[in-house]
Structure 1
Amino acid sequence: MDFLIASAMAQDAAQQPSAMPSLIMFGLLIIIFWFLLIRPQMKRNKEHRELVSSLSAGDEVITAGGMLGRITDVGESFVKVELADKLTIRVQKHSIAQVVPKGTIDSAT
């Protein structure tokens, strides 16, 4: 009978701490991550898609490799870029880094 008395007099186990503060901090971390990293990258991707869709023959561009040239032909996935007289390369549209103002090629040489 002593074992019944011992278990009856035992104290309750300590309660587990609430998980709510940890979940709130995790949620705040995700929100901060979203606004500082993901959202700006999505904005840059959207701007680049608009740039690629607006390419036309005659535009002067810089490729992702740093080559400066003039677009001579625009296809569905590729563009032809003239780097010098009688030197034309085909590159993917998405490898066009930026469109530069007209006359940049003439002033660069």
Structure 2
Amino acid sequence: MITIFLQASQPDSMMPTLLMMGAMFVGFYFLMIRPQMRKQKQEKNFQDNLKVGSRVVTTSGLHGRIAQIQDDGVVIETLSGKLKFEKAAISREFTQQRFPDSATDEKK
């Protein structure tokens, strides 16, 4: 039985293996790397376009309104006072436009 496995022919080239590795790299690029780069670019663009008075949520979940924008961060006004955060800590904008159903419920 062992002699049968030893007599099996070896592959002549490494081309199928290289093609498979290349296809895996391309798949990883389009499924994982490219969407992550796009998301980082959108977050950077959002953080660069912050405006005073915008209601935001930080990555830690703190809700507040931007009081000042400085070179090294932003000052967020909350119910407990003013706090300074890095721009990278701002995760998203929190406005009534984001939740249109709750805005109509409040008016009724």
TM-score range, shorter chain: 0.7 to 0.9
What TM-score do the two structures reach when normalised by structure 2?
A: 0.77
1:90 aligns with 2:103: no
Structure 1 runs (4+) greater than 4 angstroms displaced: none
- What is the aligned partner in structure 1 of residue 75 from structure 2? 80
- What is the aligned partner in structure 1 of residue 14 from structure 2? 19
User: Residues 27-66 of structure 1 correspond to what in structure 2 (within 5 A)?
Assistant: 27-66=22-61
Paired residue type of 1:89: L
Deviations 1:37-87 (A, max 9, x none): 0000001001000100010110100000001000000011200001116x0
How many residue pairs match? The answer is 91
Contact between 1:60 and 1:102, CA under 8 Å: does it hold in 2? no
- What is the aligned partner in structure 2 of residue 101 from structure 1? 95
RMSD: 2.1
Unaligned 5+ segments in structure 2 are 1-8, 99-105
Paired residue type of 1:54: N
Deviations 1:1-44 (A, max 9, x none): xxxxxxxxxxxxx7753100000000000000000000000010
What TM-score do the two structures reach when normalised by structure 1?
A: 0.76
